[in-house]
Copies of this chain bind each other. A is one copy, B any other.
């Protein structure tokens, strides 16, 4: 398996997590083998689409009787970089920041929340599931001293860009941005947006009188 990410399109990149999700669920239900045809039916893709996607990574050697589910899942796990461990900080301990800190599902994939940061004196000093909430003034030294990889930005949108710049200067390489604004970052930093309001607007658009 070779991994030439520069040649991987945005669309393929968006489908890889979906393959991983389906294969994980299949493995959990005890499915051992799957053909590209079966997988395509489950996922609502075409079989040739799936083979093309996998060929971006050198293919996964489907024999005549299909892919081995565990092996394929393992390969995609590696491609997604999920064999790495990522230490995360959450900036903004409001509703969304707290919900992320409370959610345990990301830990099994190797994403570990180490601290939250906020400006609200009533929150500072508290903790969520053992994860401490610190003053935002301590953010940069914490990120530097603890070699933090990823910051989830859950601040109001007016504060997001400034927070991102401080985080990046302190060594963060990935920004998981929940603020309703697009973050500018240098090329070596990856920004992944979760724009909830955009998603709701798309829903509205598709629902309205068509």
A5 (CB) vs chain B CBs: closest residue: B210
Which residues in B have their C-beta under 8 angstroms from that of A197? 17, 21, 105-106, 109
Verify if A9 is at the interface (C-beta below 8 Å from B). Answer: no
Docked CA distance A79–B198 (Å): 13
> At the interface, yes or no: A60 with Cβ under 8 Å from chain B?
no
Q: Mark A20-40, 1 if CB is under 8 A from B, else 0.
A: 110001000000000000000
**A182–B95 CB distance below 8 A:** no
Question: Size band of the A side of the interface?
Answer: 35 or more
A109 to B25, CA, bound (A): 36
Q: Provide the bound-state CA to CA distance between A210 and B149, in Å.
A: 15
Knowing A95-B98, A149-B207, A180-B21, say if A202 contacts B106 (CB, 8 Å). no
Residues of B within 8 A of A84 (CB): 204, 208
Q: Which residues of A contact B (CB under 8 A)?
A: 3, 5-6, 13-14, 16-18, 20-21, 25, 43-44, 79-82, 84, 86, 95-96, 98-99, 102-103, 105-106, 109, 111, 149-150, 173-174, 176, 180-182, 190, 192, 194-210
